[in-house]
Amino acid sequence: MFLRVALDVPLNTLFDYSWTGGAVAPGTRVLVPFGRRNAVGVVVGCSDSTEVPPARIKPVVRLFGETPPLPPGILRLLQFCSDYYQHPLGETLFNALPAAMRQSKPLSLPKPKFYCLTTNGRNVDPETLPSRAVVKRRLLQVLRQADSLSRSEIAALSPTAPTALKTFIELGWVEESQSDAPIPPFVKGGLGGISDGGGIPETAKSPPTPLLQRGEPHDPDLTSAQRLAVDSVSTTLDAFRPWLLHGVTGSGKTEVYLQVVAAVLQQGGQVLVLVPEINLTPQLEQRFRARFPAVRLVSLHSNLGNGERLKNYLAAQAGQAAIVLGTRLAVFTPLPRLKLIIVDEEHDASFKQQEGLRYSARDVAVIRAKQTGIPILLGSATPSLESWHNAQGGRYGLLNLPERAVSGAAPPAIRFIDTSRLKLDDGLSEPLLAALRERLARGEQSLVFINRRGYAPVLICGQCAWISACHRCSGRLVAHLRERRLRCHHCGHESRIPAACPGCGNPDLTLLGHGTQRVEETLERLLPQARILRVDRDSARRKDALPELLRKIHDGEVDVVVGTQLLAKGHDFKRLTLVGVVNADGALYSADFRAAERLFAQLMQVAGRAGRAELPGEVLIQTQFPGHPLFMDLQRHDFPSFAEAQLAERRQAGFPPWCYQALLRAEAADRDKVLTFLQRAAAEAAVLEHQVAVFDPTPAQMARIAGKERAHLLVQSASRAALQAFLKAWRARLEALDARTVRWMLDVDPLEF
């Protein structure tokens, strides 16, 4: 018998090996000889015959039986991805596996540390802890409910939970646990057990055990819009139906997720929740854990260690984890009882992988829901125009949450400060400063949002026009004054800030433009009594720095936060009432047709940080174009109007979602080589019969990164099927071209150009 095996190699082919054992299930991991080494592979099929000549066929070295095979549903999904994204099946498959399963050695299933209460700890009543010690109380409660918790489960409770854990260990209340027995999969509120393959013994259902305690006292009564959303999704859990849940920040989307999830758990199903970046949405994970304290929830993202990621993956595959919360890579997790997929912030660009298999996890999630025959719920305050278009056309059900859920919570008032008429003090206008002072006097917090880190985006010489350009990229070097360095944000190149102009020796170099460091410095000068905190990728670079920064804001140790989009998402700061936006104009007239969509989403999101229930919020945007239509829609919080205008523009210009696109990306050290390759590629396209528009080779928006010249060829069609058929034929021809000095790849549904 021969096994057909997918390997992690950039070749669009499968490999046959002989095998004398019994039948092997597709999805099984095997070790096979490849070249001069052994490589791990995944069996995708068996056969009695092979086209490989008998002399060249090699035997399988061994099967890896420590993990169950990938289920057929996942193999089918990966096959779809391989076809759709024009990427070799082997690489596609391996992209979906946890790193530990990609290694060519047997898995030693690691034992991550678990913690449980000692007898002493069990005797402590959480109510006896000081009421201020919220995190300690909560940790103690959760430990009482669960048999044992892993480090990451504890960390997910609160940024300071690990510190509380340490204290508990010192007090002798908590010890490391040997067992990692999964928490029994009960459902909250005594709603019945969820089946775990074999089902739950009857006795486990009835008596209220501590496991059934709830994290929050009551589910809130739903608004009628929320009720409609929950009912719409949860009445048909056994058929494919995509839903778009549109509602501004605070409109109660998460509450809808939670109640739909409750319905799914009641039926014994598993739920997959995809989020853009786990770091940016810690509150979502905490809310899920708090709502379903007795249900095993695992997270899957690239910040987990290999051992924990593997363990969580296997718990999902074994059906032990009822809820999987993860970033884009989690979309490929095997889930035997999957009944619902939720994609939160579905418009977010980080769902698209920008290297290797360039898949969109949101789109793959929709395909997965379709193949599995289950509903999928896409949520956003600012849906992608693709999803919005689908909802308008009736292909997706549209669920609207038109108002903030908490009564009395008005959306923040958005106003514009016309900077074309005002003198700015180092980038900041007097009205913005006055508003900041007002918040300071009232003891409220403010956020100054600027999506550019560093001190100044460029350093120039006024005498000879020298400019701090990166010699490896077509970008500029950003001045980081604090570290006295010039940094390229594209390739990572760094150098010292020169004392004088390298061109003419002029010692008076000028810092042009503003970044977070400069705004921070200006605010320190202008608001000397304010406590200012900068939150950007630099200040949060150290591992675990971000939770500490966030804690400071939550605990009121900060008056003014200077932040980038790191802060724009998901965080709910109770005393934050003012958001100032500095320098957002660049995107208004960008060459990128998606720039306006991204800007609108970003501004809506950051505006959502201002003002919650008791304290009304205000957003002040400094701009030279206060009358821009995008700003008018933003001011009315009118996403539908914005989307309609954008869709009309795109229709006129023939852009997605009115057509489907793919890019042939190419890069090489030498620009001519790249262009020559793309011209040959265009010639290959011309030979084919197709209904696809093939455009001329164009330099990429960043025409050079890290010494590589980059260009692309755009192809598009009004028919997805026609585009797919063309890509398949074209790719075969491209693979036959001799292009050793050029690296090329296809990017289907590209987001970046």
Query: Tokens at residue 652, please?
Result: 């006129």
Q: Taking CB within 5 to 8 Å according to partner kind, which of Zn ion, ligand ADP, none is near residue 464? A: Zn ion
Question: Exposed, middle or buried: residue 655 (CB in 10 Å: 0-12, 13-18, 19+)?
Answer: middle
Distances (CA, A) of 218 to 221, 281, 291, 505, 634: 9, 23, 9, 69, 34
Coil/strand/helix, residue 752: coil
Which range binds Zn ion by CB under 5 A, 362-370, 448-456, 502-510, 659-667? 502-510
**Window 377 to 436, contacts with ligand ADP (CB under 6 A):** 405-406
Considering the complex, what minimum distance in angstroms separates the CB of residue 472 from Zn ion? Answer: 4
CA–CA separation, 156 and 298 (whole Å)? 10
Considering only 129-137, 149-157, 250-258, 598-606, which stretch makes contact with ligand ADP by CB under 6 A?
A: 250-258
- Judged by beta carbon, residue 463 or residue 510, the one nearer Zn ion is 463
Q: What ranges in 400-532 are assigned the alpha helix state H?
A: 430-442, 516-526
Measured on CA atoms in the order 283, 288, 291, 297, is the torsion positive or negative? negative
d(CA 52, CA 47): 12
What are 323's two structure tokens?
A: 């809820």
What minimum distance in Å lies between the beta carbon of 227 and ligand ADP?
9
Least distance (Å) between residue 226 CB and ligand ADP: 5
From CA 294, how far away is CA 191, in angstroms rounded?
12
Position 750 contacts ligand ADP (CB under 6 A): no
489 touching Zn ion, by CB under 5 A: no
Q: Which does 405 bind (CB under 5 to 8 A by kind): Zn ion, ligand ADP, none?
A: ligand ADP
60 near ligand ADP, judged by CB under 6 A = no
- Spatial separation of the C-alpha atoms in residues 310 and 102, rounded to whole Å: 11
Which residues, in sequence order, are bridge partners of residue 458? 512
Helix (H, G, I), strand (E, B) or coil at 665: strand
- Interface residue with Zn ion, options 258, 278, 295, 473 (CB under 5 A): 473
Q: Decide the pairing of beta strands 149-150 and 494-496.
A: unpaired
Is position 299 an interface residue for ligand ADP (rule: CB under 6 A)? no
Question: Which of 309/571 has CB closer to ligand ADP?
Answer: 571
Compare residues 264 and 473 and give the one whose CB is closer to Zn ion. 473
Of the candidate spans 47-55, 126-134, 248-256, 474-482, the one that interacts with ligand ADP by CB under 6 A turns out to be: 248-256
| Nearest CB to ligand ADP, comparing residues 61 and 398 | 398
Structure tokens at 187: 């459902």
**Considering the rule CB under 5 A, would residue 466 count as an interface residue with Zn ion?**
yes
**Under a CB-based contact definition with an 8 Å cutoff, are residues 582 and 519 in contact?**
yes
Q: Out of 255, 363, 597, 747, which residue is the one contacting ligand ADP (CB under 6 A)? A: 255
Backbone phi and psi for residue 553, each to the nearest 5 degrees, phi listed first? -70, -50
Q: What minimum distance in Å lies between the beta carbon of 290 and ligand ADP?
A: 11
**Footprint of ligand ADP on 205-244 (CB under 6 A):** 220-223, 226
Phi, psi of 532 (to 5 degrees): -115, 140
* Strand, coil or helix: 561: strand
Q: Are 580 and 606 in contact (CB under 8 A)?
A: no
Q: Which stretch binds Zn ion (CB under 5 A): 156-164, 451-459, 470-478, 664-672?
A: 470-478
User: Is position 669 an interface residue for Zn ion (rule: CB under 5 A)?
Assistant: no
478 scored as a contact of Zn ion (CB under 5 A): no
Q: Which residue's structure tokens are 């209340």? A: 173
Residue 427: CB minimum distance to Zn ion, A: 24
Q: Binding residues for ligand ADP, per CB under 6 A? A: 220-223, 226, 247, 249-255, 405-406
Q: Binding residues for Zn ion, per CB under 5 A? A: 461, 463-464, 466, 470, 472-473, 488, 490-491, 493, 501, 503-504, 506
